[in-house]
Amino acid sequence: MAQDLRFGGRRREPGVGPSLTRLARPRVVLVGLRWRYEMAIMAAGVSGILKALSWIGTRGTLACLAGLLTLAGLAAMRPRVRRFAVARAWCIVTPHRVRTCFAQAWINNRAGQIPAVLRATGTPAGERVLVWCRAGTSFEDIESACDLLAAACWAADVIAWRSERFAHIVYLDVIRRPEQQAGTKAEPSPSDPDVPMLPRPGEGPGGRRLFGVPGQDHEDAA
C-alpha cells in the first residue's frame, strides 16, 4: 500500500490519507515547547501587571501601560524597528503554520506523528525553518508539499533543502521577499552561525530539490 500512496510525486493521494491513520495527540510537554514563546510573553505581561498593581495601584498601572503603548507606537514609526519586530513575529508564527500544513497535508507516519519543527531563524528573504523528519517521513514527503506550505505560511514560495550528511534534517526557506532571495546571504545568528546562500532562480530541478546545504551539517550534528 505504501507504493500506491505515492501518486504523481505527491505524499498522499487525495481521499486516501484521512482513512489511513489518525494524527497523534501531542503530549503536554510537546505543547509547552511549541507555545513556549507565547506562554513566556503572557507570563511576563501578567506578572508585570500584577506587580505594578501591588506597587503603584490601578491608576499608576494604567498610566504606565499608556506610556508603554505610546513608546511602542513611536518606535514602530522607525522602519528598522518595525522590520525587526515583524521579522521576530514571523519566526514565532511560521513554525505553527508549518505544523498545521503537515497535519492537513497528511505529512505524518503510521503512528500519526508529523515531522518535528525545531526552530525558525530570520533570513533576508523570510525565514528558515529547521525540520526533523520522524521515522516514517522523509524529505521527499515535505518537498512534495512545498506549494501547500507556501499557501499555509502566507508566503510567496517555500523551498525545501536536505542536509548532505543527515537525511532526516530538512530546511525550509520561507520566501516572503523574493527580491531579497537571489545572491543574498543571511546575517549569522547565535543559533545559526553559517547560513548558506539562498537559491538563485532556476537552480536545481524545479528550483526546489537542492541537496547538500553547505555549512549546516556540522551544526546539526552537535
Q: d(Cα 137, Cα 106) in Å, to the nearest integer? A: 10
pTM: 0.72
Instruction: Name the packing angle between helices 36-76 and 79-104 (round to 10°).
Output: 150
Q: d(Cα 8, Cα 195) in Å, to the nearest integer? A: 33
* Coil, strand or helix at 78: coil
Give pLDDT tens digits for 96-111.
999 999 999 989 998 9
Q: How large a percentage of the chain has pLDDT more than 90?
A: 44
Stretch 12-38: mean pLDDT: 74
CA atoms within 13 A on the CB side of 20: 21
CA nearest to 193, candidates 168, 212, 161, 220: 220
Give pLDDT tens digits for 84-95.
999 999 999 999
CATH of domain 96-221: 3.30.980
Asked if residues 99 and 34 have their Cβ atoms less than 8 Å apart, the reply is: yes
Cell numbers found for residue 113: 506523528
pLDDT of residue 88: 93
- Backbone φ and ψ for 124, nearest 5 degrees, come out as -55, -30
pLDDT of residue 174: 96
Largest CA-CA distance found in the chain, in angstroms, rounded? 67
pLDDT of residue 20: 60
- Residue 27 gets which letter from DSSP? P
Q: d(Cα 8, Cα 68) in Å, to the nearest integer? A: 54
Cell numbers found for residue 168: 532526516
- 8/31: higher pLDDT: 31
Stretch 106-120: mean pLDDT: 92
Asked if residues 182 and 198 have their Cβ atoms less than 8 Å apart, the reply is: yes
Q: Tell me what the pLDDT averaged over the chain comes to.
A: 78
* Coil, strand or helix at 174: strand
Q: d(Cα 213, Cα 210) in Å, to the nearest integer? A: 8
Residues 6+ apart with CB under 8 A from 189: 121, 122, 195
Stretch 108-137: mean pLDDT: 94
pLDDT of residue 2: 40
CB neighbours (10 Å) of residue 221?
A: 10
Give pLDDT tens digits for 133-191.
999 999 999 999 999 999 999 999 999 999 888 999 999 999 999 887 754 333 334 44
Q: Is the pLDDT of residue 214 over 80?
A: no
In the chain, list all ranges with CATH 3.30.980: 96-221
